[in-house]
Amino acid sequence: MKTNLIIKLAVAITWAALATARSVEPQITAKTVAQDAANEYKSTLDQVIRAAVDAKGKFTLDPNDVATLRGLEYELLGHARLGALKRADLPALIFAEGKPQLVEEIPGRALELRLLKLSVNPWDDGLTNKVFRYSVDNSDRTFTTPVPTNSYPEVGDFEASYAYAMTLIGKREWADAVKHLREAAAVPEGTTGGEWEFQIDITRAWAEAMLGDLAEAKATLTAALAREHRCEVPTRGRFLCAVLGIEDQHLPPEVQAALPNQN
């Protein structure tokens, strides 16, 4: 009688333990594994970005990494087709959506896509329709931000250089854009407040990142932050600063989540 009771108790305890174990164990569903794939894709791309940031010379990428990333893209797209991953949860796909032309563009394009997904345009400098003042030979002059144009600028015409550089950015011709952005920021004696030069330098740093030259981008951005700028550092600038390891810049949580992880 007593033995029976003990056996029954033991069975009951075993069942209870099993039930508890089953309820605690996280359920593996299509959605969780699809999310795992998205996380793996992000961490793989994070490594690529970190490698680009740490690269001393020109950025290169192992073809195996390209194949791995592309394989993960196919997997993620398959998950999305089967409804296991919502479009909003799908990370920005460097090859399927970014379509980089050269291997050097991969890290920059990855960063650009991440910001675009958050509705932050790295190329929006906020200068449109703004009026700037500068001095030449002790006389004050003003100018309004010019609209992009195809006309090749004359030497020393910083306004025309800006207009032409913005057209090159639209065409994604980064090397030429960097050259003309440098000329655009070369205002004699500088603009009052320095916002013009500061924003152009941030754009230039982004263009350099798109070229895969993240060391140069870091130098540009560091110099831009060091010069006078009576304006806030925009999100695009703070994001690039955080990626390149330049001082602590406050970022909204969703933008912070787009940063490449350190590990």
Partner 1 sequence: MKNHPWKSLQTLVSAIAAVLIVNVVLPAHAQNEVKSTDLTQALKTFLDNMSAAQSSEQAAHSKAAELIKAADAATAQIHDTNLPPQSRFEAHAKVIELKTQAASAQLAAARQNAKLLAAAKSALHDIGHDLGSDAPEDLKGLPLQEDQPKVDVALGNLNLPDDGGIDPETVDALTAARNYYDLACRGAAQSAIGSASLQAVARRLTAWEAKNRRTIVLADAELRRLQLGALSGFSALGNYTLDQAVGPPGGLAQSSVVIGDVPLAPEICANGETPSPWPAKVSLRRALSR
Query: What is the C-alpha separation between 134 and 172, in angstroms, rounded?
Result: 30
Q: Which of 55, 103, 116, 219 binds partner 1 (CB under 8 A)?
A: 103
Task: Note whether 95 binds partner 1 by CB under 8 A.
Answer: yes
Q: Which helix (H) or strand (E) holds 139?
A: strand 139-144
What CA–CA distances, in Å, run from 21 to 18, 33, 183, 202?
5, 21, 67, 54
Single residue of 2, 22, 56, 81 touching partner 1 by CB under 8 A = 81
If one asks whether residue 90 binds partner 1 (CB under 8 A), the answer comes out as yes
Please enumerate in sequence order all residues whose Cβ is within 8 A of that of 150, keeping only pairs 6 or more positions apart, or say none.
164, 167
Piece of 10-18, 64-72, 164-172, 240-248 that binds partner 1 (CB under 8 A)? 64-72
Contact 106, 100 (CB under 8 A): yes
Among 16, 102, 136, 223, binds partner 1 (CB under 8 A): 102
Helix 235-244 vs helix 105-117: crossing angle, to nearest 10: 140
Decide: is 55 part of the binding site for partner 1 (CB under 8 A). Answer: no
Tell me how far apart the alpha carbons of residues 147 and 149 are, in angstroms, rounded to a whole number.
6
> Distance of CA 132 to CAs 10, 35, 82, 193, 195, Å?
83, 48, 53, 9, 9
Q: Is 86 in the site for partner 1 (CB under 8 A)?
A: yes
Q: How far apart are CA 174 and CA 67, in angstroms?
A: 25
The CB-of-77 to partner 1 minimum distance in angstroms stands at 5
78/71 Cα distance (integer angstroms):
11
Of 71 and 156, CB closest to partner 1: 71
The verdict on 74 binding partner 1 (CB under 8 A) reads yes
Tell the smallest beta-carbon distance from residue 40 to partner 1 (Å): 12
For partner 1, the closer of residues 109 and 204 by Cβ is 109
Q: By C-beta, is 94 or 246 nearer to partner 1?
A: 94
For residue 199, the one-letter residue type is: Q
Is 72 a binding residue for partner 1 by CB under 8 A? The answer is yes
Segment contacting partner 1 by CB under 8 A, of 97-105, 125-133, 165-173, 185-193: 97-105
Q: Which residues of this protein are in contact with partner 1, per CB under 8 A?
A: 27, 29-31, 60-64, 66-68, 70-75, 77-84, 86-87, 90, 93, 95-97, 99-103, 106
